Structure 1
Amino acid sequence: MRARSHVSRDAIVQGALALWRTKGFAETTVTDICKAAGVSKALFYVYFARKEDVLWEMEVFTMRDAHRAAEAVASRPYELVDLIEAVIELLEHNMRRYPPELIFEAVIETYRTERRALADGATDADLAFLFLEPFQQAQRDGKIPAEADVARTARIAQMLVADGIRDWAAADFFDRPLAGPLAREISTLINGHQHP
């Protein structure tokens, strides 16, 4: 039963992604997604409250991959900028497969999700899902000072990445790299903030 539910959920995500690539996010309805996935609307609503929640599902899997990329960097000698770049590079690689409109919508949905979480009392540690674990490791490794508020630092870095991605998607992003320049900017801001 659990394997079947995984297959249904994956079919919904894959169906939505295929439609968003061809039809666009705004023009795709839940009915369209259900037809593409071969599932009923009732089953769709078992897993997702709305089509925007499918975007969040996409991001959750990306975060896991980003953390693995950070772990690989932290397993050898590194600088903080290398860790940040590894995370953003993975995001960039994945985003290049999707149309800019979809990336833009995913960022906007992230902002909405964070707003709802903040209204429910979420903290920086609750919202810093992209960089919290990598930055905790960097702090243990002495790349971020022990006295630094690592949750707040991770949250700020995440906000800068979201804003950078939004700008990158709004422009013709295939013409320019994102990871290296953005990682250097974030690292400079973190280091400048920590060492006044």
Structure 2
Amino acid sequence: MTPVSHGSKDDHSQERAVPVRARSHASRDAIVQGALALWRTKGFAETTVTDICKAAGVSKALFYVYFARKEDVLMEMEVFTMRDAHLAAQAVASRPYALADMIKAVIEVLERNMRRYPPELVFEAVIETYRSERRALAGGATDADLAFLFLDPFQQAHRDGRLPAEADVARTARVAQMLVADGIRDWAAAGYTAHPLAEPLAQEISTLIDGR
């Protein structure tokens, strides 16, 4: 059967939907920005959902429409930016390179982005990432599902002969990602350091991969 057209009724529904979606995005953004402002001044542990709602000018009921916990707001803040990291890896792969060069480029992007946030917030983001991965593993996730940071770059490196032909690319990418997470956690726990994170960590990971 041919669907029945409702004429202008559908048109008016679409017109109403646009501002509703706009308000929805505005409320979500207000929650994220309110939380970030509080975390910068009050710290993550001392900030409650009530505090965030007051800062954002929303009700707790609306908060829970978008987020189950304040940790979920943390994961919205894109402390770890995958898209830019992958673009940096692609730029490295466009010229002669070693695997350590690609790893360093990815970590450098993360390092630059993380320095915009308080160390405590980055530390909490790493811990929440661990929890998220644990839940994913309990649900049957594989190395390929979880190796989002290095899977695409390492697949390229494998095609380019920078990884052994027999390498398990997904597993190698997962191991590299876990090492980066541990490195970031320690770096953030120390309040960041004057020394760059990317180069020594990239060399360590590359050496371990070569040893495998």
Picking from 88, 98, 102, the partner of 2:117 is 98
Q: Distance in 1 between matches of 2:21 and 2:163?
A: 41
Identity of aligned residues (%): 85
What is the alpha-carbon distance in structure 2 between the residues aligned to residue 130 and residue 26 of structure 1? 27
Question: RMSD value over aligned CA atoms?
Answer: 1.7
* 8 Å Cα contact 2:32-2:73 kept in structure 1: yes
User: Aligned equivalents of 2:31 and 2:91: distance in 1?
Assistant: 31
Which whole-Å deviations, capped at 9, do the CAs of 1:86-122 have from their partners, x for residues lacking one?
1111111111122221111111111111111111111
Compare 114-123 and 142-151 and name the one that shifted more. Answer: 142-151
- Paired with 1:36 and 1:159, the residues of 2 have a C-alpha distance of 35
Tell me: CA distance 1:37–1:67, structure 2 relative to 1, closer, same or farther (3 Å).
Answer: farther
Moved over 4 A (4+): none
Deviation at 1:33, TM superposition (A): 1.5
- Unaligned runs of 5+ residues in structure 2 are 1-19
1:174-193 alignment, distance < 5 Å? 174-193=193-212
CA drift of 1:58 comes to 2.3
| Between 1-10 and 138-147, the greater mean CA deviation after superposition | 1-10
* Structure 2 residue aligned with 1:48: 67
Over alpha carbons, which structure has the higher Rg?
A: 2
Taking the aligned partners of 2:170 and 2:130, their CA distance within structure 1 comes to 18
Q: TM-score, normalised by structure 2?
A: 0.84
Q: Sort the Cα spacing of 1:46 and 1:75 in 2 relative to 1 into closer, same or farther, 3 A.
A: farther
Paired with 1:122 and 1:31, the residues of 2 have a C-alpha distance of 34
Equivalenced residue count is: 193
Structure 1 residue ranges without an equivalent (≥5): none
* Matching residue of 1:20: 39
Q: What is the SS of the residue equivalent to 1:175?
A: coil
* Residue identity matched to 1:105: E
Whichever residue aligns with residue 50 of structure 1, its letter is R
CA distance, structure 2, for counterparts of residue 32 and residue 112 of structure 1: 24
Shift of 1:60: 7.2
Amino acid at match of 2:87: R
Residue 39 of structure 1 pairs with residue 58 of structure 2: yes
Task: Tell whether the 8 Å contact from 2:79 to 2:114 is kept in structure 1 after alignment.
Answer: no
In the alignment, the residues of structure 2 paired with residue 26 and residue 130 of structure 1 have an alpha-carbon distance, to the nearest angstrom, of 27
Residue 70 of structure 1 contacts residue 134 of structure 1 at CA under 8 Å; is this kept in 2?
Answer: yes
SS across alignment from 1:174: coil
Q: TM-score, normalised by structure 1?
A: 0.91
